[in-house]
Copies of this chain bind each other. A is one copy, B any other.
Amino acid sequence: MTDISSPASAPAAFGGATHLECTRCGTRYESETLQRLSPCCEKPLYPRYDLAAIGARLRREDLAGRSADLWRYAELLPVRNPAHAVRLGEGWTPMIETPRLATRLGIGRCWVKDEGQNPTASFKARGLCMAISRAAELGIREVAIPSAGNAGSATAAYAAAAGMAAHVVVPRDTPHPIIQEMLALGADVELFDGLITDCAARVGEGVREHGWFDLSTLKEPYRVEGKKTMGYEVAEQLGWTLPDVIIYPTGGGTGLVGMWKAFDEMEAMGWIGSARPRMISVQAAGCAPIVRAFEEGTEYAEPWRDAHTYASGLRVPRAVGDFLILDAVRRSGGSALAVSDEEMREWTPIVGRDTGIFCAPEGAATAVAAARLRESGAIGPDDSVVLFNTGSGLKYVI
């Protein structure tokens, strides 16, 4: 791979985690063998780093001129050997200021972080890039994933780039462009009658029968490390400040908890202060387990029954990281709210005309949420707001 970092600045130093830590009880595990959920609590494991040492030798200004992808943060990522980094141009997506949309919403400043410009046209590239790079580093040659769609595309792409076999199980009614993309990328694709949770059970069978490595989100420790780079990028692209509000469409929620982790890491290195954006979790009215748990004040979210929404990325009835999402939303002073499919359909061309971005329904959902929170006063007229468009609208064309 050609290093497209600038010769004028120091290249990123690949590091790796010091250990893994149970997100529930804090028990430590070593990071150099394959891990899934924590053996202690059956909860997600987070990689941890020697942030004091990294912060002492790496200033945030040193990042200038590094490669225009998420590997600019290599010291804070789990891959140890650059040769194992599978690179297709993931991350460092544009932060697009959208003044006409801000005026429509009645807010001070508004940006769309356009994740549709990732490889495979969605934010899923970040997590799967990291999980597959790290799996390759630990000797894995065959991976499997249940997906609502976009994660399957990203898995197919990074597995192909790494020369691995990929098995993807998706609901039968996954958007057609996504299925075509996975097939063109050489994945073994199984269409399954059911939701992503049913597909996960099917992957479980393959894991037991064939020894596939399961890339389900937060069931292995590295997808979140790819996703957290969205948090680093928000800060760096806004000149090492954070917005007042971040609105994030939440299926599995790894992006939201990943950004929350990134903020803590940056503070530990002295790159930002202790202020945090209000984190807003948006779900579909037809599948809103996090919203319900937020409103009911519970620590965990009950699985949602009869989940339905055309925003396939939001059709996730149960999130393994539910307690992490709810914790970040609550501690940030944020909230969780659901929007209807009709509202997403209505707002897709509104966002398009105001910004020039053909967003995914999940992206449109964040604009709907912004409008509603502005109306309720939860977002004020002077607030700065970052909306996450998690993918290109092209992936949802029927």
Contact indicator per residue, chain A 312-356, by CB within 8 Å of chain B (1) or not (0): 000000000000000000000000000000000000110011111
Given known pairs A65-B9, A89-B117, A117-B89, the reply for A160 and B94 (CB within 8 Å) is: no
Query: Which of A88, A93, A358 has the most CB atoms of chain B within a 10 A radius of its CB?
Result: A358
A95 within 8 A of B: yes
Shortest C-beta distance, A69 to chain B (Å), equals 7
Is A8 in contact with chain B by the CB < 8 A criterion?
yes
**A residues within 8 Å of B by Cβ?**
1-2, 4, 6-9, 61, 63-65, 68-69, 86-89, 92-97, 100, 111, 114, 116-121, 153, 156-163, 176-177, 180-181, 183-186, 237-239, 348-349, 352-358, 392-395, 397
B397 touches A186 (CB 8 A): no
B88 lies within 8 A of A353 (CB): no
Would you call A349 and B394 a contact (CB within 8 A)?
A: no
Given A160-B354, A185-B353: A64 and B6 interface contact (C-beta under 8 Å):
yes
Copies in the complex: 2
Give the contacting residue for A397; candidates B64, B158, B180; CB below 8 A: B180
Q: Once the chains are docked, how many angstroms separate the CA of A100 from the CA of B163?
A: 9
Query: Which residue, A116, A159, A177, has most C-beta atoms of chain B within 10 A?
Result: A177
Given contacts A117-B117, A392-B121, contact A2 B65 (CB under 8 A): no
Contact among B69, B92, B393, B394 with A392 in the assembled complex (CB-CB below 8 Å): B394
* CB nearest to A68 among chain B residues: B68
Q: Are B157 and A356 in contact (CB-based, < 8 A)?
A: yes
Is the pair B6, A355 in contact by a Cβ cutoff of 8 Å? Answer: no
**Among A6, A153, A183, A395, which residue has the most Cβ atoms of chain B within 10 A?**
A6
Contact A96 B237 (CB under 8 A): no
Complex Cα distance, B120 from A342, in Å, reads: 24
A4 to B354, CA, bound (A): 21
Closest residue of chain B to A120 (Cβ to Cβ) is: B358
Instruction: Please name the residue on chain B nearest to A159 by beta carbon.
Output: B356
Interchain CA distance A354-B65 in the complex, whole Å: 30
Asked if A119 and B117 sit within 8 Å, CB to CB, the answer is: yes
State whether B358 touches A7 (Cβ < 8 A).
no
Contact among B114, B181, B186, B356 for A393, CB-based, below 8 A: B181
Choice from B7, B61, B355 contacting A239 with Cβ under 8 Å = B7
Taking the closest CB of chain B, its distance from the CB of A97, in whole angstroms, is 5
- Please, how many angstroms separate the alpha-carbon atoms of A184 and B237 in the complex? 27
From B156, B349, B392, give the contact of A186 (CB < 8 A). B349
Closest CB in chain B relative to A192 CB, distance in Å: 21
Report how far A181 CA is from B353 CA in the complex, Å. 11
